[in-house]
Amino acid sequence: MFENIKSRKAPIGVELVKKGLITEEQLQEALTYQKRHPEFKIGEVVDILNMCDKKKLISAIAEQIKQKTVDLSKGISINYAEFLPRDVVINNKAIPFEIDGTTVKVAFSDPLDIKAVNEVKLLLVNKGFQMEQYFTLYTMIMEQIREVKNVQDKFVDTSEKDTTILVDNIIHTAIKQRASDIHIEPLEKNVRIRYRIDGELVEVSELPKSRQGIITGRIKSISNMHQEITTDQDGRINSYEDYSIRVSTQKNIHGEKFVLRLLKKESKVRGLKELGYPTDDETIKTAFNKQNGIILLCAPTGEGKTTSLYSILDYLNKPEINVVTIEDPVEIRMEGVNQVEIGHDTSFAGALRTVLRQDPNIILVGEIRDKETAQTAIESGQTGHLVLSTIHTTNSIEAITRIRKMGISDYDISSTFATVISQRLIRRLCEKCKKPHVITEEDKIFIDKVEKLNKVKFDLENATVFQATGCEHCTDLGYYERVGVFENLFINDNLKELIASGRSVIDLKRYAMETTEYKPLVVDAVNKYLKGITTIKEIEKRINI
């Protein structure tokens, strides 16, 4: 059961045929199913497809793997959620079913999965329990998960002294689930826990209202906030080895809401192509090979601007140039780059003026927020420096309007803007479970609309598209991580003249679409759909056309 059939035929499959529990045809059907669902071992597939008597299947597999067994068809004697979070139970295919003193008996559908066994054992040890492992069928575990009515209390511990474990479990589970943010929200009758995973908020738990006070106290304690103050506060948790966690609290009508931003301390810089930026070298050179001026990234909050900035910086960085960054805070540490973190008494504009005395070639300014920062950045670009920065706008053309509204002259904008890039992050289909898909009539209507609005033509004949399904790897979401979609506005001499003459963004967009390579975000998004990277549903959700 526990051999990977990609490398060899699963012995348990042959054994089940020998014992007369399944036929050769059923084995082939199980192997075909497993190819589509590699997260399951062959014995689990036989169980899921209900190919033979379950008690006989348990006996046959137990004989093969030499493990103690348990039949959970009659139910379990404890509430598993008091011992393990529900997502841990699902991800590790393991469920606590009985307690004997300080020993918790746990049934695994794959007790030879050392990683799963060790994770469950560690969580139980942290709660003061020993673990005794058993083997059972996957479907029996899933049935017990559905049967337990109190699953919303999956994080809840039984005494106040366990509040530390409660909050720690919430954070550790979020890290494991690749969450970027944790939302702890007091409601009228309970406390809701949600994770933002790949840009989507997912509800993972509801805790009793009685736990609200001690959760609030614990989070304030570890993030160095004032316990007695209930107005808005900001803090930071540094007790997790690989993560720096920014904490924000805001009072609402039911208490204090917390949002925890999970920032990996040693985040690696990703290459431009890995982010989803156009793969041809000519586009990359046109966009970024500049001696001076401003390269601006535009997107709303949470759309990966900082990640893209560092990818650009990694492309430009060389030993013979001096690179300085000004950030609030420094989110990615980069070897060979001078990184400045502004404090409460320092502004971007003030730090930028100081940096200009440090003989920089390239300056990264985390964000242009006001006229002072914009003016100083433009002056830097006009005096021989290359400035990289971000701004909050919906598209690259609108960045010009935003800078104009800050009080910057059209001449200054036209003389310094070199490249303006707008981006969004859309969810990437899970490679483990995505299934081939036929372009539907509804999809074709959307694509046709994009073609007409943007004067483009997509190659549907050679497209390879997929649909989301869901598996253990992606926590049944059907998507895993995100990919960027981009629009490039390269400021050529004719565009500079139009900007300097005060032409409207409508005129600028019309000219860019008719005479340059500029294409709105949705064009790149549809191209990524046609390459099998995402779905039309995801594009419609994330991008306006």
CATH number at residue 248: 3.30.450.90
Domain-terminating residue out of 226, 248, 264: 264
Domain membership flag for residue 464: no
Instruction: Report, in angstroms and rounded to the nearest whole number, the Rg of the chain calculated over CA atoms.
Output: 28
Strands 479-490 and 417-429: antiparallel
Domain membership flag for residue 299: yes
Q: Are residues 497 and 411 in the same domain?
A: yes
Q: Are residues 256 and 276 in the same domain?
A: no
Structural domains of the chain, count:
4
**pLDDT, greater one: 345 or 121:** 121
Q: Are residues 277 and 350 in the same domain?
A: yes
Q: How far is CA 224 from CA 227, 261, 274, in A?
A: 9, 15, 37
Q: Are residues 352 and 492 in the same domain?
A: yes
The answer to which of 184-193, 198-207, 294-303 has the lowest mean pLDDT is 198-207
Q: How far is CA 135 from CA 60, 71, 107, 123, in A?
A: 12, 9, 5, 19
Chain CA centroid to CA 145, Å = 26
pLDDT at 186 over 80: yes
Q: Are residues 249 and 282 in the same domain?
A: no
Q: How far apart are CA 281 and CA 381, in angstroms?
A: 24
Give the CB-side neighbour count of residue 423, counting CA atoms within 13 A. Answer: 25
Domain-terminating residue out of 115, 134, 153: 153
Q: Are residues 257 and 295 in the same domain?
A: no
Helical (H) or strand (E) element with 323: strand 323-327
Q: Are residues 289 and 246 in the same domain?
A: no
pLDDT at 12 over 60: yes
Q: Are residues 204 and 168 in the same domain?
A: yes
Domain membership flag for residue 312: yes
Domain membership flag for residue 431: no
Task: Note the pLDDT of residue 152.
Answer: 38
Q: Are residues 279 and 348 in the same domain?
A: yes
Would you say 343 and 330 are in contact if contact means Cβ atoms under 8 Å apart? no
Q: Are residues 346 and 492 in the same domain?
A: yes
Domain membership flag for residue 149: yes
Q: How far apart are CA 328 and CA 348, in angstroms?
A: 9
Domain membership flag for residue 1: no
- Nearest 5°: phi and psi at 31? -65, -40
The answer to which of 81-90, 438-447, 531-540 has the lowest mean pLDDT is 81-90
Domain membership flag for residue 74: no
pLDDT at 389 over 90: yes
Task: Note the pLDDT of residue 251.
Answer: 92
* Percent of the chain topping pLDDT 70: 94
> pLDDT class for 483, splitting at 50, 70, 90?
very high
Q: Domain with 123 in it: what CATH number?
A: 3.30.300.160
Q: Are residues 192 and 308 in the same domain?
A: no
The answer to which of 4-18, 263-277, 283-297, 469-483 has the lowest mean pLDDT is 4-18
Task: Note the pLDDT of residue 1.
Answer: 39
Domain-terminating residue out of 107, 130, 153: 153
Task: Note the pLDDT of residue 204.
Answer: 85
- State the Cα torsion 312-313-319-323 to the nearest 10°: 150
Would you say 455 and 405 are in contact if contact means Cβ atoms under 8 Å apart? no
> pLDDT class for 207, splitting at 50, 70, 90?
confident
Q: Are residues 84 and 56 in the same domain?
A: no
Task: Note the pLDDT of residue 96.
Answer: 93
Helix orientation angle between 371-382 and 348-355, rounded to the nearest 10 degrees: 20
Chain CA centroid to CA 489, Å = 27
Would you say 405 and 520 are in contact if contact means Cβ atoms under 8 Å apart? no
- DSSP annotation of 211 reads G
Domain membership flag for residue 147: yes
Q: Which domain holds residue 123?
A: 80-153
